[in-house]
Amino acid sequence: MTSPVAPPVTPPVAPVRPVTRSHHGDEVVDDYEWMRDTENPEVIAHLEAENAYAEATTAHLSDLRDTLFEEIKARTLETDLSVPVRHGDWWYYSRTEEGRSYAIRCRCRVSDPDSWDPPVLSADAPVPGEEVLLDSNVEAEGHEFFSLGAFSLSDDDTLLAWSVDTTGDERYTIRVKDLRTGEVLPDEITGASAGATWSAGGTHLFYSTVDEAWRPHRIWRHALGTGGGQEGPEADVLVHEEPDERFFTGVGRTQSERFLVIGSSSKTTSEARLLAADDPEGEFQVVFERTTGLEYSIEHAVLGAGDPAADHLLVLHNEDAPDFELVSIPLTDALSDDVRSPTQAASRTVVVPGQPGRRLDDIDVFARHLLVGYRSDALPRIGVLTVGADGYGPLREVPFGEELFSAGVGANAEWDQPLVRVGFGSFVTPGTVYDLDPDTFELVLRKQAPVLGDYDPSAYVQHRTWATADDGTRVPVSVVARADTPRDGTAPTLLYGYGAYEISIDPGMSTMRLSLLDRGFVFAVAHVRGGGELGRAWYEGGRLEHKANSFSDFVAAGRHLVAEGWTSHDRMVAEGGSAGGLLMGAVLNLAPDDFRGVLAAVPFVDALTTILDPSLPLTVTEWDEWGNPLEDPVVYHRMKSYSPYENVQARPYPAVLAVTSLNDTRVDVVEPIKWVSRLRATTTGEAPILLKTEMHAGHGGVSGRYNAWRERAWELAWIIWTATGEPTT
């Protein structure tokens, strides 16, 4: 198999400075660990040299990159409005404007309190009575990076709390604005996580902060008007601290807005605390104390208006139900010290029973209806139940008419709204917003994301096929292509994968992806074990001692596409990011001849080194996912057997592009630096191995839509060149 050959540009060479790591009687010499210190000017200089090399190596793609950017831009309605969402006496929406990178958040008054039809707004005309609440373009001025975290309204719509991150390190500053006067209040909280939650009455804000490992571990209460912060004479009050380093903690409100909820969770265990939202200085009460392996989440439901005994907690849990069960428990019973778990409550009602292969994911509760998000047959679905004084009705699925699709509950702010906002989309259908009548199942179209130009959904086909893994397991593979794409093995292909944390990669349309499909590409997703597409068993089959299944599943998916005639190995590129970057690195070592190239974004490729060091961000929380190699020699040797950096060998590797960010707090920039350095020093082939680092961003990459389009155009140009061998325009 041939690979694109780099132009005669000299790549940077990282100095070799060996350090020895010793665990469980195993000594490992690491030549590049010294580059972990990003305060070292030599490391920054090396990253800049890598960026220069990547630019020089791909300079011949500059015209293609410009073309791709203009294609993406031309398909996008740059001046647009979202569908308004009602909260109180206001309709809230966001707008984008041509030439501006960020959204502007606005509102206008409800003209008819009895109507739940959102106003039909035009981007080309002024909105009567519009109030601009937050212009992120103004907030972003003077910053290379900008991310909006919280955007939280008080119950009476008079106060707005919002938070911003201007470095990419996911530490936010919270501010408060009085929407009656437009005044930004002196309250300012630094070093917070993204969210901010109001108490009833708007007297207090609750928020979380992170520890040195970037783990949200403390919940604070801030009294409005006291400045803000965790130190000083008017310091905010610490209401919860999570000492277990495996657990994250956060705070929010129930959909009824009656209760504040503090949630703590590891990868396998969770715990919730409850407090009446109108008693912000009260004590949070534990619902079910944590029990290893018990995961649960809660929502508030009312069975019968005006009766205090009608208050129930809806509990979504996995006790004796691996794919989760939904039960309803009277509130007083759920908070009883005698009830230690969801199944111990004799008063519980099973609302949706657990069923293997039907994974219950989340619930949205309204005054008269309950919506359940779940997945079966590797697709996300929506179910509806009625809520009344007599209990709950049966689960009914909202029907959607495509073979592959994604469906989920959208933004809904009002407890007693008669219509429910839902979203739908597929690989060929743009994201669509509906209002669902939960009684009649009528779907009222509110908006479909516009795709400018001559886009015709019927010109494309989407398809589910099944690969067979090494152990005989059937692995779902989703495929989308133009209908006229040949099935003779000549089509270039991009195969995407993730496979960790029970995260599912669901069907969705991308206007950026059209630039590949319209050039004859096939796009496919390998739904490998470790994800959540086929329920909890699918996740368990790709974690801990079964992690290698994720890698072999991906290889099997690629070979299946070749066997079905979609493509050939020398025209296929693989892509994955973060934990999917680990997948890419492992696949590169497992089957380097199966792919023409590999694109790894913010890749977790030095997994063993990271998971061995509990002082690094997120390491301890990750032990539930990968195991603890620090204490367990079996885990150590298992991780060493697949960790990409550990297993680079002298062989001809295909083309590699690693993209990362200097301020990434989830996957340290040192991981791709070390990996690329070792790959380049070890490969016996001539295919280019590139590292591209965004110097002003975090785990999610660059900020601003135009920057994001340009970055993706850069990557798409590399994919096209790598898969076809030509800088085709």
Could you give the residue numbers annotated as active site? 578, 664, 699
Structure tokens at 41: 């000017």
- Alpha carbon of residue 583 to chain centroid: 17
- Find the helix or strand (DSSP H, E) in which 536 lies: helix 536-540
Q: How far apart are CA 374 and CA 654, in angstroms?
A: 39
Q: Do the beta carbons of residue 405 and residue 424 sit within 8 Å?
A: yes
Q: How far apart are CA 54 and CA 393, in angstroms?
A: 59
Q: How far apart are CA 579 and CA 539, in angstroms?
A: 14
Q: How far apart are CA 487 and CA 485, in angstroms?
A: 7
Q: How far apart are CA 602 and CA 661, in angstroms?
A: 7
Q: Do the beta carbons of residue 679 and residue 653 sit within 8 Å?
A: yes
List of residues 6+ apart from 55 with CB closer than 8 A: none
Q: How far apart are CA 40 and CA 473, in angstroms?
A: 48
Q: Nearest 5 degrees, angle CA 689-CA 695-CA 696?
A: 145
SS (H, E, C) 283-295: CCEECCCCCCCCC
Q: How far apart are CA 428 and CA 446, in angstroms?
A: 19
Q: How far apart are CA 493 and CA 563, in angstroms?
A: 13
- Phi first, then psi: give them for residue 163, nearest 5 degrees: -140, 150
Largest CA distance in the chain: 78
Q: How far apart are CA 93 and CA 464, in angstroms?
A: 36
Structure tokens at 178: 């009085």
SS (H, E, C) 661-681: ECCCCCCCCHHHHHHHHHHHH
Half-sphere exposure of 293 (CA within 13 A, CB side): 6
Provide the 3-class DSSP secondary structure of residue 201. Answer: helix
- Alpha carbon of residue 97 to chain centroid: 26
DSSP type of residue 579:
H
User: Tokens 């907030």 correspond to what residue?
Assistant: 139
Q: How far apart are CA 138 and CA 136, in angstroms?
A: 5
